[in-house]
């Protein structure tokens, strides 16, 4: 059995994991980063983000450049990044069991990593959208569509529809249009037992407006267009233009909903019903919209199994995306030596995940005794401030992440023994 | 097989130039991919989306759902979205097709 030892094992080589690797390795820890994919970068590699420069101009920046820079910085600081390795087990204190994603070269990855501390940065997965026909070839999640278009430079289809009128769905639609796909519309799924997320136009508009209010460039224009053309959210649903609102080379349609996907062995069309302002579909009159590809967005859920295996206390916090591990101001969990960062602790934007990674990496270095008490206090404070700053500058996909964060602080305070409750928070 | 669906022009800055070709097989047929393609992406690019009878094929793209699993050089249950193509790689559909899946709630 091939065993590798380290001071700190980081599960997940996305923005949060790489941020933690840079900081912990930079503080002198022997760091191993483990990721299932063939290259590090996680969802950051998928993205083409918009950024506002100091002079106010908007630039499109491929996330893959940023993720490569982060991975290079982690390696330069001495971290070892092992790709193609799934961590299927985490046992005290601490043993990480690995399985190769690619079986061809089984000797390349260790069987087991032993470490004194762990940062879990496993991210989030998209919720499935289980409407009839959802298993037909040609139905993919928004993230998969972004990977095809932005990473592999493969056009996801000729004509697509995005089902799920939320920030991720709209972002994916924009990327599809840039990739040369005809995107018929972005519209909701009709409400049903397996449909997660709002269907009522008023709630959808409110979520999108809140998201785009903080976005540079086209995002802000979306908010402005929605509000000015349709009035305030409460009235918007009733005054919503019949053909939808043009945005980013496609249409945002909120008075129609997809009820099913049809085809024989492949996607041929979606069935679309009219939907009223209360989010009720009129299924007696449906249209067939021909498409060859369906891209779904039904929310993101944190991936927390390893935290649960380690014995971390978790809680269901819908405002953060689902089940999340309880964490403190320095991203420690209820289990000493186990820290969390990124979307697995609550859905966050990539720059926030990087900042959280730096905070968790600092906390792990302090735990390992690599920092003097003074240095630990100073660096933790600076890192926490950076996380708060990143949150202010980067909109969350979640409609109420502020409420979710307050809830987490409240729950964390309740886990502490009474004499520890004077802790300051660095939210 | 459908026409190729490669994107020739990258509107985003810092785009990589097209990578070298890599030849592999799927179900006995030769497929041309590019270095850096995952199995799922290379097949999608030549119009192959269904990875076997009764199979959904690529869905989540992050190795979470196992809908894209294929047999690679005789080894089962390889996630096609997580493994890069190699010259001469032999990819086949899963031997055991999925049973009929529930259609999803109305």
| End-to-end Cα, chain A, rounded Å | 43
Q: What's the average model confidence in pLDDT over A341-357?
A: 96
- Window A:77-136, CB contacts with B under 8 Å: 84, 86, 101-104, 125-126, 128, 130-136
Please check whether residue A259 touches B, CB under 8 A: yes
Radius of gyration, alpha carbons of chain A = 22
* Interface contact flag, B49 A138, Cβ < 8 Å: yes
Chain A residue with CA closest to B58: the answer is A140
Mutate to test the interface with A, among B33, B59, B79, B87 (most CBs of A within 10 A): B59
Chain B residue with CA closest to A283: the answer is B106
Q: How would you classify residue B63: left for phi > 0, otherwise alpha for psi between -120 and 50, otherwise beta?
A: left
Q: Which of B41, B58, B105 sits opposite A193 (nearest CB)?
A: B105
pLDDT in tens, A84-134: 999 999 999 899 999 999 988 778 899 999 999 999 999 999 999 989 999
Rounded Cα distance between A250 and A35, Å, is 35
Tokens 């690619």 locate to A102
Rounded Cα distance between A37 and A34, Å, is 9
Rounded Cα distance between A88 and A97, Å, is 6
Q: Which residues of B touch A259 (CB under 8 A)?
A: 106
Higher per-residue pLDDT: B102 or A253: A253
Q: Which residues of B touch A50 (CB under 8 A)?
A: none
Q: Which residues of B touch A266 (CB under 8 A)?
A: 49-50
Q: How would you classify residue A330: left for phi > 0, otherwise alpha for psi between -120 and 50, otherwise beta?
A: alpha
Residue B100 has pLDDT above 70, yes or no: no
pLDDT in tens, B20-52: 999 999 999 999 999 999 999 999 999 999 987
Rounded Cα distance between A29 and A145, Å, is 37
Determine the distance in angstroms separating the CA of B106 from the nearest CA of chain A, rounded to an integer: 6
From the number of C-beta atoms within 10 Å of its C-beta (0-12, 13-18, 19+), residue A159 rates as middle
CA distances from A326 to A91, A301, A421, B51 (A): 19, 15, 15, 40
* Interface contact flag, A101 B105, Cβ < 8 Å: no
Assign B103 a pLDDT band (cuts: 50, 70, 90): low
The total number of residues written for chain A in this structure: 427
Rounded Cα distance between A320 and A343, Å, is 9
Cβ atoms within 10 A of the Cβ of A237, count?
Answer: 22
Question: pLDDT exceeding 90 applies to what percent of chain A?
Answer: 67
* One CATH from 3.50.50.60, 3.40.50.1000, 3.40.50.620, 3.10.20.30 for B21-92: 3.10.20.30
* Interface contact flag, B62 A180, Cβ < 8 Å: no
Q: Which residues of A touch B13 (CB under 8 A)?
A: 59-62
Q: How would you classify residue A47: left for phi > 0, otherwise alpha for psi between -120 and 50, otherwise beta?
A: beta
Q: Which residues of B touch A136 (CB under 8 A)?
A: 56
Query: Cβ(A132)–Cβ(A260) under 8 Å?
Result: yes
Assign A423 a pLDDT band (cuts: 50, 70, 90): very low
Mutate to test the interface with A, among B3, B9, B10, B12 (most CBs of A within 10 A): B12
Residues 6+ apart with CB under 8 A from A29: A6, A7, A8, A364, A365, A368, A370
* Interface contact flag, B62 A265, Cβ < 8 Å: no
Query: Cβ(A398)–Cβ(A404) under 8 Å?
Result: yes
* Interface contact flag, B10 A153, Cβ < 8 Å: yes
pLDDT in tens, A213-272: 655 555 555 655 665 555 555 555 555 667 788 888 999 998 899 999 999 989 999 999
Which helix (H) or strand (E) is A261 found in, with range? strand A256-262
Q: Which of B36, B49, B72 sits opposite A103 (nearest CB)?
A: B72
DSSP class of residue B77 equals E
Radius of gyration, alpha carbons of chain B = 15
pLDDT in tens, A354-374: 999 999 999 999 999 999 999
Higher per-residue pLDDT: A33 or A66: A33
Q: Which residues of B touch A152 (CB under 8 A)?
A: 36-38, 41, 45
The total number of residues written for chain B in this structure: 106
The whole-number pLDDT of residue A59 equals 63
């Amino acid at each position: 059995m091939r065993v590798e030892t380290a001071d700190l094992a980081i599960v997940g080589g996305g923005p949060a994991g790489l941020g933690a690797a840079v900081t912990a390795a930079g503080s002198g820890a022997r760091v191993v980063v483990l990721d299932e994919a063939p290259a590090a970068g996680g969802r950051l590699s998928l993205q083409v983000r918009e950024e506002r420069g100091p002079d106010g101009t908007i630039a499109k920046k491929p996330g893959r450049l940023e993720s490569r820079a982060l991975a290079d910085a982690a390696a330069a600081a001495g971290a070892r990044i092992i790709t193609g390795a799934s961590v299927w087990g985490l046992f005290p204190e601490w043993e990480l069991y690995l399985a190769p994603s690619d079986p061809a070269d089984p000797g390349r990855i260790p069987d087991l990593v032993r470490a004194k501390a762990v940062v879990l940065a496993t991210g989030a997965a998209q919720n499935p959208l289980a409407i009839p026909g959802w298993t037909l070839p040609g139905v993919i999640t928004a993230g998969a569509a972004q990977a095809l278009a932005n990473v592999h430079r493969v056009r996801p289809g000729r004509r697509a529809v995005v089902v799920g009128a939320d920030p991720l769905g709209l972002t994916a639609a924009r990327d599809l249009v840039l990739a040369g796909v005809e995107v018929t519309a972005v519209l909701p799924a009709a409400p049903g037992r397996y449909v997660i997320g709002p269907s009522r136009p008023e709630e959808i508009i409110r979520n999108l407006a809140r998201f785009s209010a903080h976005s540079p460039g086209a995002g802000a224009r979306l908010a402005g267009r929605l509000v000015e053309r349709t009035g305030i959210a409460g009235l918007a649903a009733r005054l919503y233009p019949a053909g939808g609102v043009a945005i980013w080379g496609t249409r945002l349609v909120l008075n129609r909903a997809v009820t099913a996907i049809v085809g024989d062995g492949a996607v041929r069309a979606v069935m679309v019903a009219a939907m009223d302002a209360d989010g009720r579909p009129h299924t007696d009159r449906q249209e067939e919209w021909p498409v060859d590809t369906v891209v779904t967005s039904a929310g993101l859920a944190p991936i927390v199994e390893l935290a649960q295996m380690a014995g971390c206390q978790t809680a269901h916090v819908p405002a953060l995306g689902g089940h999340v591990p309880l964490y403190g101001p320095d991203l420690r969990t209820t289990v000493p030596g186990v820290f969390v960062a990124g979307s697995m602790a609550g859905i966050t934007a990539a720059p926030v995940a990087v900042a959280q990674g730096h905070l968790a990496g600092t906390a792990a270095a302090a735990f390992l005794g690599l920092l003097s008490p003074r240095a630990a206090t100073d660096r933790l404070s600076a890192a926490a401030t950076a996380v708060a700053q990143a949150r202010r500058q980067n909109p969350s996909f979640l409609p109420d992440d502020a409420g979710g964060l307050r809830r987490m602080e409240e729950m964390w305070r309740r886990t502490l023994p009474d004499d520890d409750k004077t802790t300051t928070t660095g939210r | 097989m459908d026409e190729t669906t490669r994107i020739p022009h990258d509107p985003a800055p810092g785009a990589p130039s097209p990578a070298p070709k890599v030849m592999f097989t799927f179900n006995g047929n030769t497929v041309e991919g590019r270095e850096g393609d995952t199995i799922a992406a290379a097949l999608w690019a030549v119009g192959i989306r269904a990875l076997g009878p009764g199979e959904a094929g690529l869905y989540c793209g992050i190795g979470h759902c196992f809908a894209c699993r294929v047999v690679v050089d005789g080894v089962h249950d390889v996630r096609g979205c997580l493994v890069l193509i190699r010259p001469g790689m032999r990819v086949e559909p899963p031997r055991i097709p999925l049973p009929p899946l529930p259609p999803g709630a109305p």
